[in-house]
């Protein structure tokens, strides 16, 4: 089992819809969770982090964390073509290392 798993996609949503990105992790002791956006040919950009169970909202983005289910998700409301990118889930494990998932490619269709 890989430490951090994501649906590889590509995920296609129409403009204005909600995009839902999912991530699961194997280390039950993981404490901190991050979402990065990466445009083609660019480096990852931190867009959200969440440390406690529940939801965290920042503008059009909502991160959701369920530690019991070892699941973290990112919702993007009112998706825009500029949101088309690869979204990386990252998890700080109990052994003090940040592990990245393979990323989910999102395409927002105008």
Partner 1 sequence: DTGVSQNPRHKITKRGQNVTFRCDPISEHNRLYWYRQTLGQGPEFLTYFQNEAQLEKSRLLSDRFSAERPKGSFSTLEIQRTEQGDSAMYLCASSFVAGSFYEQYFGPGTRLTVT
Site for partner 1 in 48-67 (CB under 8 A): 49, 51
Four-CA torsion 57, 63, 64, 66, nearest 10 degrees: -130
Whether 94 and 27 have beta carbons less than 8 Å apart is answered as yes
**Cα atoms found within 13 Å of the Cα of residue 34, Cβ hemisphere only:** 17
User: Does 80 engage in binding with partner 1 (CB under 8 A)?
Assistant: no
The region of 14-22, 40-48, 54-62, 64-72 touching partner 1 under the rule CB under 8 A is 40-48
Residues that bind partner 1 (CB under 8 A): 4, 31-32, 34, 36, 42-46, 49, 51, 88, 90, 92, 97-103
């Amino acid at each position: 089992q890989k430490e951090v798993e994501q649906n590889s996609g590509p995920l296609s949503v129409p403009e204005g819809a909600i995009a839902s990105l999912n991530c699961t992790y194997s280390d039950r002791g993981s404490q901190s969770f991050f979402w990065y956006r990466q445009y083609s040919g660019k480096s990852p950009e931190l867009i959200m982090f969440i440390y406690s169970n529940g939801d965290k909202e920042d503008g059009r983005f909502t991160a959701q964390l369920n530690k019991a289910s070892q699941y973290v998700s990112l919702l993007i409301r009112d998706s825009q073509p500029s949101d088309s990118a690869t979204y990386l889930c990252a998890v700080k494990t109990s052994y003090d290392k940040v592990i990245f998932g393979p990323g989910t490619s999102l395409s927002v269709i105008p």
